[in-house]
A and B are shown apart, each in its own frame.
Chain A
């Protein structure tokens, strides 16, 4: 693309990524420390949750000593960090399985839901946003604006309930909740419910971006050449709207991947969000910490990828990075 300039761009890009990754390590360490502090504050005895309340005192003492629970919190924290660095993230006290196995088992389902929701949201949101932007100020525009305001404002679990009530309890079109591997019918309702908020945001942002560029010179030229409005907006204006839209999709992806707790609960979707909430309620400390680090790590990673996407979409940014 830039003959001769590629190597410099590449070096700067790599430096940018490395800097962000180093920063990410610190943020993750902070997240882990916060999570650890919170789990330390939690009432209840970890040893008791492991062996049950009726275990004899000697067994309890033995487990406490084995887990290091008889030492002070700071020593425990250091020991915990050491074991994490050696790759030992512990075993879930609730499921009696290594925490990473649990996370890796649940995560693909959450990812499936997140991608389905965002794919749907991006398609509908960009379409609505274009309709709204091209017909700015008309009744259609106002109706779509109102609709997207409602989409942003309604709680996702309530929307989910409405969808279940209408589409599965009344019309019996789709299964109300649950998860079956490979059966996409279970995916439709949760993806709709989860995607609705993103549709609303994407609609708004596409609309604003289209209106902002609609006075730009290159669009006036395109119009003067007699290109149809949809072609103008689809080809030229939309590219300028891509940046904010990608930002929204990226941010939502980051939060959806870390588990849409409420959606997963309404639809009994066995994803990572529910795993985490169940872990918190069951005081499953190892699982909580691992989940938190995993989610925060994903969130940071997705944000970094969004930033890198900017350069791909907008050559101006690529040039300014160089």
Chain B
């Protein structure tokens, strides 16, 4: 990548980060100050089209769609972020352990990873939600459990490289214990690419949550999430097409931002694209 391209890349990361921050801040603040609550029913304004009072219109129960989209942002982002924590926890520990120990541990863990990668992700999440019942906690745990395998694979690859580096070898020679060597010296030095990958993973997790909600396995109503809002809106598509349109737009926009930032960060890390 030439100098100007790289500068443009940095600029885009910054713009992406700022837009994301503003968006998250809005999701936190708007529902608190908005005159309507996300669950306040008002049949007199049922299915009204977008206006100054209700910028995105109202749903069949007369609930303001704008505030529901903003609360949905909280739910969708929280589920996605927490699912990343779950996936990171499992992926980093298992992948790191496999790469560090090598031999049969590596063989065993990576075969489990193969199985997880061959198992259709969304269906695994669907199955877990179907077993445990749909609620917020189950949702992010299920998405996390369904998607840790790629992180494990990446982490393993990182550890394989880092453990051969001189400082790791030096620590080993100096008599540092294996646990200390792993958690203190190797793990922190493997995390950057894994965390960058997580940015793109957020995009995938948001999409996964919306998919589950669309299949009717999302958070319990009246709590909205983007996927649930799109699904509910679709039931009214003939009378009020905006109900499915705006939540989808909010979702797509957020995923675009995460993808944008994630792609650029990844390019920055990868010396081949520099």
Contacts and interface: CB of A to CB of B under 8 A. Distances in A.
A296 interface: yes
Interface in B202-238: 203, 207, 210-211, 214-215, 227, 230, 234, 237-238
A261 B120 CA distance: 10
Given A158-B230, A158-B252, A165-B241, A152 B259 contact: yes
B130 A280 contact: yes
A41 B127 CA distance: 10
Given A292-B123, A300-B118, A42 B130 contact: yes
A291 B76 CA distance: 29
A2 interface: no
Given A161-B237, A281-B130, A153 B203 contact: yes
A261 B215 contact: yes
Interface string A21-49: 00100111011001100100111000000
Chain A interface size band reads 35 or more
Interface string A241-283: 0000000000000010011011001000000010011001101
B241 A262 contact: no
Contact of B127 (A31, A158, A288): A288
Interface string A285-296: 000100010011
Interface residues of B, number: 35
Contacts of B115: 27, 30-31, 34
A149 B256 contact: yes
A161 B111 CA distance: 39
Contacts of B119: 31, 34-35, 292, 296
B248 interface: yes
Contacts of B120: 255, 258-259, 276, 292, 295-296, 299
Interface of A (DSSP majority class): helix
B252 A169 contact: no
A30 B260 CA distance: 36
A202 B241 CA distance: 31
A277 B234 contact: no
B114 interface: yes
B114 to A, nearest CB: 5
Given A149-B256, A169-B238, A277-B126, 14 more contacts: A30-B114, A150-B256, A152-B259, A153-B203, A154-B252, A157-B230, A158-B248, A161-B237, A165-B237, A165-B241, A280-B123, A288-B127, A295-B120, A296-B120
Interface of B: 111-112, 114-115, 118-120, 122-123, 126-128, 130-131, 203, 207, 210-211, 214-215, 227, 230, 234, 237-238, 241, 244-245, 248, 251-252, 255-256, 259-260
